A and B are shown apart, each in its own frame.
Chain A
């Protein structure tokens, strides 16, 4: 498809389990972002990848969260030892990666994570 895709669309897990969320960005987009949308808390930035540069991890809420981007394309967000407060919609976005960040971000449909 032409847009950003994410999988799974829904994930229910038990507290303490690890989960992996996947993002396929638009082909040719060098910039990739992960965001989280929690109920009552709005959207927040998690991590940013740009080409082969070191990722900006400044938004990750704890060391249980990590992300990687293989081959400059697909990205995986991993949450270890999930907690109930991790329940949220996790959104991925990609963009052309223009200098200064003055480019449109295209959002995926999100993964709704529920931690029981």
Chain B
């Protein structure tokens, strides 16, 4: 079992839909990151969480430390949100990555 599990692996949504991507981890962490990677593009850090909830524009990230679970929500999704979303947990000096969720938003 991977230390960081993401679901779903693939997600296709219609423009305007509310999207949720989940991340579960199995070990103690100091922080959790949500990253975005566009096809052929670099990686951008969306959020870094150690507790609670953060919001940036249409993106919301939550974390439940007791449940070892985090969710990334996208409200009013748009085709430009199409990308790979990666959950990563900080363990010591390193990030341990989930396999990523491939999101496609159709217009």
* Interface residues of A, Cβ cutoff 8 Å to B: 33, 35, 42-45, 48, 50, 56, 58-59, 91, 93, 100-110
Count how many chain B residues have C-beta atoms less than 8 Å from C-beta atoms of the other chain: 23
A56-B95 Cα distance, complex, nearest whole Å: 12
Nearest opposing residue in chain A for B90, CB measure: A101
Question: Residue A45 contacts which of B30, B44, B96, B99 (CB distance < 8 angstroms)?
Answer: B96
| Residues of B close to A103: CB separation below 8 A | 48
Count contacts between A and B, CB distance < 8 Å.
56
Decide if the interface of chain A is mainly helix, strand, loop or mixed: strand
12 contacts between A and B (CB under 8 A): A35-B95, A45-B95, A48-B93, A56-B94, A58-B94, A100-B30, A101-B92, A102-B31, A104-B33, A104-B48, A105-B95, A110-B42
CB pair B94–A102 under 8 Å, yes or no, is no
